[in-house]
Amino acid sequence: MTKYLIDSNSLISPYRTFYQFDLVPSFWKWFKETYDQSVYLVDKVRDELCHVKGAGDKDDLQVWIEDHCLAKEKVILPNADAAVLAEYAAVLNYISDSPLYKQKSFDEWATFEKADPWLIAIAKAHGYTIVTMEERNRNLNPSNPTSKEPRIPDVCAALGVECINLYDLMHAQQCSI
């Protein structure tokens, strides 16, 4: 069975736009069932989604995540995993050394709290497929390197990591809403 890592935008985008809780509750029921079977949450993604601490002004998505997705065995804590740490260094080295990116791109990903390089490192080390709503940057060019933040699908393609979007996951898991 394929194991998936979910990027925060794969939950934020549907929550804010096309699959709002009150409009399409069946999507969230399907996601919870799929999550329980084969989707995992990296601690950095959890932190992006659950950024309000205590009883503050949490949005409905954060409340839903806290209620449905924080079981200990479903949240990956990569900091003590030697294979992940090696891949994390490889991801950052790729961005640093690639002629496609400027220093500013590297700086965007070099902060410890940034989830994207951790997603790729965990997926590479342990064979996960990443689910993200990001799209490839079709304008990457070594003669005109970008200073924008790297995109997960581009780095995954360069490093041989499987990366799909939410709709691909929905097809693969036979979502019917």
Report the distance separating Cα 117 and Cα 87, nearest Å.
Answer: 9
| pTM more than 0.85 | yes
Token match 């992006």: residue?
Answer: 48
Q: Examine the pLDDT at 56 and tell me if it is beyond 80.
A: no
Q: Coil, strand, or helix at residue 6? A: strand
Of 13-27, 46-60, 136-150, the poorest mean pLDDT is in 46-60
Does 133 lie in the same domain as 88?
yes
Q: Which stretches does DSSP call E strand in the chain? A: 4-6, 39-42, 75-76, 129-131, 163-164
Does 106 lie in the same domain as 71?
no
User: Which range of residues forms the domain containing residue 41?
Assistant: 4-76+165-172
DSSP at 65? H
Q: Examine the pLDDT at 176 and tell me if it is beyond 90.
A: no
Residue 177 lies in a domain: no
Does 52 lie in the same domain as 14?
yes
Does 116 lie in the same domain as 91?
yes
Report the distance separating Cα 158 and Cα 177, nearest Å.
Answer: 34
Structural domain count of the chain: 2
pLDDT, position 36? 96
Does 90 lie in the same domain as 72?
no
CB 123 within 8 A of CB 5: yes
Residue 47 lies in a domain: yes
The DSSP H or E segment spanning 30 is helix 25-38
Report the distance separating Cα 172 and Cα 177, nearest Å.
Answer: 14
Does 53 lie in the same domain as 112?
no
Bridge partners of 65, per DSSP, are none
Q: What is the mean pLDDT of the chain?
A: 95
Q: Coil, strand, or helix at residue 42? A: strand
